[in-house]
Each structure stands twice: as C-alpha cells, then as structure tokens.
Amino acid sequence: MSDDPCIFCEIVAGRAPAARIYEDDEVLVFLDLYPTARGHTLVIPKVHYENLFEADEDSLMAVTRVARRGAHALRNAIRPDGMTVVQLNGAAAGQTVFHYHVHLIPRHHGDNLKIHGRRTAERSELETQASEIAAAFATTGDA
C-alpha cells in the first residue's frame, strides 16, 4: 500500500464527503462516487484493511451482516431486477481503492455488468439516493 491517505479512511473520519446511508460502530455504508447503476452502494469496515486477506474475521462478518441489510434496503428503495454483490482483492482483480469493501449494485434487465463507473455522480443526486436508501435501510432491521 502507498503512503497516500486512504479515501475511505478519510470518509470514515469525516474529512471527505460521502452520501452516507448507514453506520454503526464497525461498518459504514455509502454510495459509490463513480456508480455503475442508480444506488451503487459500498459497505466498508471502519478499520482499515487493504483486502480480504488482511481483514479480521469479526470485521468481515460485520460487513457481510450489514451488506445483507443493505441489499434488502436497495431492493425496497430501487426495485431492481437483481443485485450484483462483489468484492475485489488486489489491482489484478480490479480493486481501485485499497480498503476492503463490498459493492452492492442494483441491476435491471439489459444493464451492462461493469463494476466501476467512469462518470462522477452529482452530489445532489447521491444525497437524494442516499436518503431514499437510508429510509429503506431503517426498516430492514436484521432482515
């Protein structure tokens, strides 16, 4: 890993903006700044781990638990035909931010299957989506 600050750690610390959806003591959920679909969501541990191989089991379980809730919330808020749930490890696998994270990508029939978008989303668009998904998240409980 480089000496550059981790953008996800900056988001956790509140020093970088993000359209936050949910957080607890262990996990933060927010919208991807480069979405491939409406509602493209990231679930991260608050503690920095570069990838799956470095993360401890408790953090992995917390992310998985919250990712499941997030998928339910996205299904309720976005009404997709399906959901891509993906996690990348290392540059060769397509990882671009080296802080363990899970992508939740709502899919509709006819979508392409890209993992990373090329267009930065508008901040107001992300905030609106985050509010909608957060409201659905609040009603999912432990789904």
How many residues appear in the chain?
143
Query: Rounded to two decimals, what is the model's pTM?
Result: 0.82
For the chain, domains (ranges, CATH) are 7-137 (3.30.428.10)
- Residue-wise pLDDT for 4-25, tens only, equals 789 999 999 999 999 999 999 9
Instruction: Give the pLDDT of residue 38.
Output: 92
Evaluate the CA torsion angle 57, 31, 22, 3 in order and state its sign: positive
- pLDDT tens by residue, 55-67: 999 999 999 999 9
CA dihedral of residues 138, 7, 41, 27 (deg, nearest 10) = -40
What is the separation, in whole angstroms, between the first and last Cα of the chain?
Answer: 36
Q: pLDDT value at position 56?
A: 96
Q: For the segment 94-128, what is each residue's pLDDT rounded down to a tens digit?
A: 999 999 999 999 999 988 777 667 778 888 888 88
β 27-31/82-86 pair status: unpaired
Residues with a catalytic annotation lie at 101
Tell me: pLDDT of 41 over 90.
yes
With contact defined as beta carbons under 8 Å apart, do 136 and 71 qualify?
no
Give the 3-state secondary structure of residue 72. helix
Rounded-to-integer distance, Cα 131 and Cα 134, Å: 5
**pLDDT value at position 2?**
46
- What strands lie across the sheet with 20-23, from one edge to the other? 20-23, 27-31, 41-45, 102-107, 82-86
